[in-house]
Chain A
Amino acid sequence: MALEMTGEYDLPQKREVVWKALNDPAVLEKCIPGCETLEKLSDTEFQATVKLKIGPVSARFKGKVALENIDAPNGYTIVGEGEGGVAGFAKGQASVALADASDGCKLTYTAEAATGGKIAQLGQRLIAGSAKKTADQFFENFVEALQDYK
């Protein structure tokens, strides 16, 4: 895949709570930047609509998100692929790992992303920045959502 990212976050909740939140569609819908809808299809599959802007290309991506390699409460791989009409497509996956820490839980992730069509043609030099920003935004939102999560 075209782009790889890694990151690490200290979260203010216990591992079991974080794990629950990571599997809660309501939390994910709130945290995924630009997420307009997230419907649960099964325990491990969601249908999502996400509005993304990369450089000059703005598009609404529709696609499926699936959870794989589930190892409760230690982590999973979240895999997504979306079609953005004439804007092209975006796909990506992130492996998330949780570990106990003194005042909560440490989350690390490694992610890969690829784009195609117009979004790749026009937004290439902006994709790395946009993807990293999107990931950071997600986890900022996630930290916030965890504050009163039970």
Chain B
Amino acid sequence: MSATGIGAAVRRKEDQRFITGTANYTSDISRPGEVRAWFVRSPHAHATIKKIDTKAAEKMPGVVAVLTGADLANDKIGGLICGWAITSKDGSPMKMGAHPAIAADKVRCVGDQVAVVLAETLNQARDAAEKVKVDYAVLPSVVDPAKATAKGAPQIHDVAPNNQIYDWHIGDKNATDAAFASAKHVTKLEIVNNRLVPNAIEPRAAIAEYDQGNDALTLWNTSQNPHVARLVISAFIGMAPEHKLRVIAPDVGGGFGSKIFIYPEEVVALWAARRVKRPVKWVSDRSEAFLTDAHGRDHVTHAELALDADGKITGLRVRTIANLGAYMSTFSSSVPTYLYATLLSGQYAIPNIYAEVEAVYTNTAPVDAYRGAGRPEATFVVERLVEVAARELGIDPAELRRKNFVKSFPHQTPVIMAYDAGDYDASLTKAMEMVDYRNFGKRKAESERKGKLRGIGFSTYIEACGIAPSQAVGSLGAGVGLWESAEVRVNPTGSVEILTGSHSHGQGHETTFAQLVSERLGVPIETVSVVHGDTDKVQFGMGTYGSRSGAVGMSAISKALDKIEDKAKKVAGYMMEASADDIEFKDGKFTVKGTDKSVGWGDVTLNAYVAHKFTGGQLEPGLKEGAFYDPTNFTFPAGCHIAEVEIDPETGKTTIANWVAVDDFGVIINPMIVEGQVHGGIAQGVGQALLEGASYNADGQLITGSFMDYAMPRAGDLPSFKVDTTMTKCPSNPLGIKGCGEAGAIASPAALINAITNAVGHENVPMPATPGTVWKAAQRAVMKKAAE
């Protein structure tokens, strides 16, 4: 390993500019002559638009234009789409309602855009927006997914009777029912997976510019996947041909999934820029972000686990209602289906699984992928069920897990996924040692002496990431392939540029990708730059989500580096008058096998470009190679998180006393970055379990619409995590990487709720487990104890 190669805990190259305020985010960019856009948004959750009067607004100072949904329709700009087709049990396709970028006839959630004001300054646009008169006829609304399909519920989209988008299933119903019929024990749980607001630190933004001379558009936006944005905006929305649309996603301050999707505001910015022939800049404020960024989770689930007399799991049965909000966001349909139900086997050999998922419209913001996307929901179902089953059966929860672990690989689950490698015993054992499980009883007794309740909870999670084999996802309804691309450009002086289809919005690609190059070419990471996020510079790529940049994105780079190495050996062969087959390349030096003749990396790169040692007929000049990598399987990171809590029964305050995470991420490029990803993931999972919850009132108003009412985790809510890893190589990609970006958020809610329910001695503690919720549960425990 070189000092900055694979496995080195080098500091992130990009952090210098992020922490010194010299990064270049979309809102930092200004274009000459730009106008500012401000959207008029619906204050009603559900209403028909009777009339929009823009006249007064148009007369306001600085106003350039006021545009409505009717103008958008006149210009034949298409609506937003969901790109993953799900088929219902009865064979019918999902019911996708129209989603115009500006509502024309009807608004379906608070925050739905009804007009856009363009003005010289932001304040002028905001002032004028106040003068846009919208005449609404308010309709009844529904926000609770469990009530959306009820008789008499307000109808949100005409194409989706009873607000049902699809009623999908997976697994063998009859076999699973039979397993339950013959079960010795059945554990049942009602679970609400609470709705979350993503809250990336950088709100969404877009700047669109129209080049009249070339009839071409450029969009700077906060995207996790600029090429996918370009494809959708071009091919489906019909804004401009793909080659006449450039999308640039510069530095992006966090995404967590919420910036994967194509949003109405960027479509409107492009359209408006061409209409007024001036650049249009829109920057979301935090209030808009709460209302309009796609939210996460929001499942209502009934789950059952069947066990035999030996404590072996024989079946799992799940029925979930998934709230997709008012419109189907870009990948919304896949989250509660193929990213959720396919992980319901957890780390266990479960012979029979049957899951039904009904997706519904409600008068709330669209719901789509949020860190983990479907897999946190699945892990929560499985890990709560297993923990509760162990308590009901009086078996140690670790032992019940161990008894049911998948132990031989590959393992085909009944729900599509084929696990390729893992060692679940190893991570569980290590985590139990690190948390000192043996002495938990002593710590519990000590807490009790202080009048506190102590609990411990496990989560032995698995996730499928490294998304994903194109053929496989295509057969499941995906409208795209999920390979990745890379180009490696070696300059004459030996420095290297990596052009990647992955997109970094906090993950540290500029460091980890450079580490791979450093490892392979023997060059220091300082001489490697990573270019991403610009469709004019970088070849088509699929972007970053689903913990895919390491496993898929870096594998593409690795493939391109193979080609670079082959070519460089040929150049070195001409330089040293030897056959390329006889050239060895190690630590940046090319040596003729069995001799002391060698040339350095810089000599070879220069010779590749001056081409003095070979004619063009023998070898093409230059040193630049590209590759596309399509994975052969998902990757399966897995591990064990153990949370230990102490609860004050007088106040309901939960203190996390101890947190251990032992993860198997396969080969690790940079352990410091991986640990950071684990920390961040746990923080988000703790946020979901203890603090966060998006809440709409019965009228469809978002009543947790600011940081006053929506609690984000803070440093003081979290302990110092104990993080370690175990390692089984991922067999399906050349680097052995599994991915680490989502694991913390996937594993942690179940571990924490298992710990809290263990402390208070009963299972009904819904998320977020706020002090009020925990206090009620804790008081029961106190009273029970007093009665004894």
Q: Bound pair: A and B?
A: yes
Q: Does B709 have its Cβ within 8 Å of any Cβ on chain A?
A: yes
Q: How many chain-A residues does the 8 Å CB contact rule pick out?
A: 16
A117/B287 contact (C-beta < 8 A), A2-B698, A125-B709 known: no
As a 0/1 sequence over residues 276 to 303 of chain B, the CB contacts with chain A under 8 angstroms (1 = contact) are 0000000000010011000000000000
Contacts of A88 in B (CB 8 A): 43
Whether B708 pairs with A122 at a CB distance below 8 angstroms is yes
A121/B705 contact (C-beta < 8 A), A85-B130, A86-B130 known: yes
Q: Does A27 have its Cβ within 8 Å of any Cβ on chain B?
A: no
Q: How far is the CB of B50 from chain A (nearest CB, A)?
A: 14
Contacts of A117 in B (CB 8 A): 41-44, 110, 701
Measured in the bound complex, the distance between the Cα atoms of B703 and A123 in whole Å is 8
Measured in the bound complex, the distance between the Cα atoms of B290 and A122 in whole Å is 11
Measured in the bound complex, the distance between the Cα atoms of B287 and A88 in whole Å is 13
Q: Does B702 have its Cβ within 8 Å of any Cβ on chain A?
A: yes
Contacts of A114 in B (CB 8 A): 699
Identify which of residues 61-112 in chain A touch chain B, using a CB-to-CB cut-off of 8 Å: 85-86, 88-89
As a 0/1 sequence over residues 682 to 707 of chain B, the CB contacts with chain A under 8 angstroms (1 = contact) are 00000000000000011101111110
Q: Does B126 have its Cβ within 8 Å of any Cβ on chain A?
A: yes
**Closest 9 interchain pairs by CB?**
A117-B43, A121-B705, A120-B701, A85-B130, A88-B43, A124-B703, A116-B43, A122-B706, A86-B130
Q: Does A14 have its Cβ within 8 Å of any Cβ on chain B?
A: no
Contacts of B701 in A (CB 8 A): 2, 115-117, 120-121, 124
Q: Which chain B residue lies CB-closest to A126?
A: B708
Whether B43 pairs with A124 at a CB distance below 8 angstroms is no
Whether A124 pairs with B699 at a CB distance below 8 angstroms is no
Contacts of A124 in B (CB 8 A): 701, 703-705, 709
Whether A86 pairs with B129 at a CB distance below 8 angstroms is yes
Measured in the bound complex, the distance between the Cα atoms of B702 and A85 in whole Å is 18
Whether B706 pairs with A121 at a CB distance below 8 angstroms is yes
Query: Which among A114, A117, A121 has the greatest number of chain B C-beta atoms within 10 A?
Result: A121
Measured in the bound complex, the distance between the Cα atoms of B44 and A116 in whole Å is 6
Whether A121 pairs with B290 at a CB distance below 8 angstroms is yes
Residue in contact with B703 in the complex, picked from A85, A118, A120, CB distance below 8 Å: A120
Measured in the bound complex, the distance between the Cα atoms of B704 and A118 in whole Å is 11
Whether A120 pairs with B708 at a CB distance below 8 angstroms is no
Whether B708 pairs with A121 at a CB distance below 8 angstroms is no
Measured in the bound complex, the distance between the Cα atoms of B126 and A85 in whole Å is 11
Contacts of A1 in B (CB 8 A): 699
Measured in the bound complex, the distance between the Cα atoms of B709 and A121 in whole Å is 9
A2/B699 contact (C-beta < 8 A), A117-B43, A121-B291 known: yes
Q: How many chain-B residues does the 8 Å CB contact rule pick out?
A: 25
Identify which of residues 16-61 in chain B touch chain A, using a CB-to-CB cut-off of 8 Å: 40-45
Whether B697 pairs with A89 at a CB distance below 8 angstroms is no
Measured in the bound complex, the distance between the Cα atoms of B695 and A2 in whole Å is 13
Q: List 20 A-B contacts (CB under 8 A).
A: A1-B699, A2-B701, A85-B130, A86-B40, A89-B43, A89-B44, A116-B43, A116-B701, A117-B42, A118-B287, A120-B110, A120-B701, A120-B703, A121-B287, A121-B291, A121-B702, A121-B703, A122-B287, A124-B703, A124-B705
Contacts of B129 in A (CB 8 A): 86
Q: How far is the CB of B199 from chain A (nearest CB, A)?
A: 14
Q: Which chain B residue lies CB-closest to A121?
A: B705
Identify which of residues 105-149 in chain A touch chain B, using a CB-to-CB cut-off of 8 Å: 114-118, 120-122, 124-125
Contacts of B290 in A (CB 8 A): 121
Identify which of residues 386-422 in chain B touch chain A, using a CB-to-CB cut-off of 8 Å: none
List 5 additional contacts besides A116-B701, A118-B43; criterion CB under 8 Å.
A2-B697, A116-B45, A120-B43, A120-B702, A121-B702
Query: Which among B290, B697, B709 has the greatest number of chain A C-beta atoms within 10 A?
Result: B697
Query: Which among B129, B130, B702, B703 has the greatest number of chain A C-beta atoms within 10 A?
Result: B703
As a 0/1 sequence over residues 41 to 75 of chain A, the CB contacts with chain B under 8 angstroms (1 = contact) are 00000000000000000000000000000000000
Q: Which chain A residue lies CB-closest to B38?
A: A86
Measured in the bound complex, the distance between the Cα atoms of B39 and A118 in whole Å is 13
Measured in the bound complex, the distance between the Cα atoms of B705 and A122 in whole Å is 6
Contacts of A121 in B (CB 8 A): 110, 287, 290-291, 701-703, 705-706
Measured in the bound complex, the distance between the Cα atoms of B697 and A115 in whole Å is 11
Contacts of B287 in A (CB 8 A): 118, 121-122
Contacts of B697 in A (CB 8 A): 2, 120
Q: How far is the CB of B110 from chain A (nearest CB, A)?
A: 7
Measured in the bound complex, the distance between the Cα atoms of B701 and A86 in whole Å is 14
Measured in the bound complex, the distance between the Cα atoms of B40 and A121 in whole Å is 15
Q: How far is the CB of A57 from chain B (nearest CB, A)?
A: 10
Q: How far is the CB of B38 from chain A (nearest CB, A)?
A: 9
Q: How far is the CB of A55 from chain B (nearest CB, A)?
A: 8
Q: How far is the CB of B293 from chain A (nearest CB, A)?
A: 14
Contacts of B131 in A (CB 8 A): 85
Query: Which among B129, B131, B701, B705 has the greatest number of chain A C-beta atoms within 10 A?
Result: B701
Q: How far is the CB of A125 from chain B (nearest CB, A)?
A: 6
